[in-house]
Homo-oligomer: A and B are copies of this chain.
Amino acid sequence: MSPSSAGARRAPAKPRRAPEGGAQPGRGGGDKRERILDAAVRVFARKGFHATRVSEVAKAAGVADGTIYLYFESKDELLRSLFEDRVETLLSHMKTELPKLPNAPAKLRRILEIQLGVLGGERDLAEVFTVIFRQSTKLLKQYAAPKFTAYLNAIAAVVSEGQAAGDFRVDVAPLLVARATWGALDGIALTWALGRAERGALARAAGQLADVILRGLLP
């Protein structure tokens, strides 16, 4: 989970500080961009991408409307950046952790844990992944597709690896399994985000889901 980002943003009760001389110096890094992205997650999750006005994101981030455009070319581009940023986080987790694992079943189980772990750590983020990213046709069809395909292929590769190693049945198409697996994760996260969203629920779900899927894939 990454509650870090969540906690980070509400810090200054009065960020409305126009003339701070040179903006957050030193440490913080050029957080303004980060603050805007975090604000976008919160606001988009609450109102949806199209119903959210740029000025609302600005307000939530504690910056002026125009400032958004110093960091992002457009509202669409803000969403695209958010997608890229958050997906990158997810993928890097996987790239780091999967290679450590010995076999395909372990890797597949880990994929479930990571995805549900990340989304389950922040309800708003879960909604962004399962709903918001699907609200911009442009993002969906023009930008996300390749990244999404890559992600599915990565899962499919694990399935193939398992089939080759005799761990998984060979009478199912790896890509189909990947799609279904991703869909299952997405569906669980969606219903969690739209429902009660109890902490920890997704972690438990990951375990049970892995049990079912792995047994289903037994040779």
Contacts and interface: CB of A to CB of B under 8 A. Distances in A.
A182 interface: yes
Interface string A190-203: 11001000000000
Dominant SS at the A interface?
helix
A147 interface: no
A96 to B, nearest CB: 25
A190 B183 contact: yes
Sorting the interface of chain A by its residue count into under 10, 10 to 19, 20 to 34 or 35 or more gives 35 or more
Contacts of A173: 208
A165 interface: no
A2 B138 CA distance: 10
Nearest to A188: B179
A209 B9 contact: no
Given A9-B53, A173-B208, 6 more contacts: A1-B137, A48-B140, A51-B138, A152-B191, A181-B184, A215-B216
Interface of A: 1-5, 7-9, 47-48, 50-51, 53, 55-56, 131, 134-138, 140-141, 145, 152, 169, 171-173, 176-177, 179-188, 190-191, 194, 205, 208-209, 211-218
